[in-house]
Structure 1
Amino acid sequence: MQNPGQRIKNRRLKLQMTQKELAKKVGVAQVTVSQWERNNRSPRGDRLFSLVEVLNCEASWVLRGDVVPSIPLSKTPSAKNALTPKENVLLDLFSELPTSEQEQLIKTLKEKEQHYARFLTELLEPIRNLLCSPCFG
């Protein structure tokens, strides 16, 4: 399985770009692209969004390799504008975690989401029953 650096490099080569060209389009130094490709550093925050826009792929593919880079971003809302500042902070923090910790965090967040969904269902059930009662029928 490829690491993020290998995915960045392979995608850049597929698009027939040099590191220098990619760096200029993303707004970073060439050495930064080199560090990404050697997997010494990971693109974060706005740089990640600039990178995926230039590489015409999804951030989740760059970071985790779980989405095939085939969706043209020109047909979707700008990735930079799609996330709030809090979401950018979460993405930065998440990308710094080891894979095992990322998986555990995802599992925890899914459990929290399910908990809140059950809570809302239980909270709204009396209202739903009231609205469906014969008085309103």
Structure 2
Amino acid sequence: MARHPPTTTPTTPGERLRAARLERGLTQDALAERLGVSRSAVAQWETDRAGQIRGNLLRIAEVLGVSLEYLLHGDDKRAPAHAATGDELALLRLYRELSPEDRAMLLTTARRLAREG
């Protein structure tokens, strides 16, 4: 059975980590693999049984595409007021997979398109 993000606002770093993971459709195993840790470590972090979460928070935020401020405090004053759409998140994920040269080319093209639009 597929799990879905909680309907209540996550109040702890572990709950926010879990919500972000589920929003991205990742299993604990998949996130653990991307982070180079065990699934058990992810499970402990999500239930706020810290372990080594502090040393991994920046990498967790990067992999999940959220800010460190969001994971720690639940808000990000730098974030836009609206939630990202699925297309925006997909573009962000693809961008992160590109080489630096391809990123530069994509940004140049996107800026040109935005000026023309």
Between the aligned residues of both structures, percent identity stands at 32
* Alpha-carbon distance in 2 for matches of 1:29, 1:15: 19
Q: Quote the offset at 1:44 in angstroms.
A: 1.6
- TM-score (norm: length of structure 1): 0.47
Aligned residue for 1:78? none
Aligned residue for 1:64? 73
Aligned residue for 1:54? 63
* Structure with higher RCO (Cα < 8 A, 6+ apart): 2
Aligned AA (1:14): E
User: Which one has a larger percent helix, Structure 1 or Structure 2?
Assistant: 1
1:7-39: CA deviations, max 9, x gaps?
A: 010110010000000001011111110011001
Aligned residue for 1:5? 14
Aligned residue for 2:39? 30
Aligned AA (2:31): L
Q: 1-10 or 60-69: which moved more?
A: 60-69
Q: Quote the offset at 1:48 in angstroms.
A: 1.4
Q: 1:44 aligns with which of 54, 63, 77?
A: 54
Aligned AA (1:40): R
Say how many residue pairs are matched. 74
- TM-score (norm: length of structure 2): 0.55
Unaligned runs of 5+ in 2: 1-8, 97-117
Aligned AA (2:49): N
Task: Please provide the CA RMSD for this pair.
Answer: 2.5
Unaligned runs of 5+ in 1: 76-137
* Alpha-carbon distance in 2 for matches of 1:49, 1:3: 16
* Alpha-carbon distance in 2 for matches of 1:49, 1:63: 10
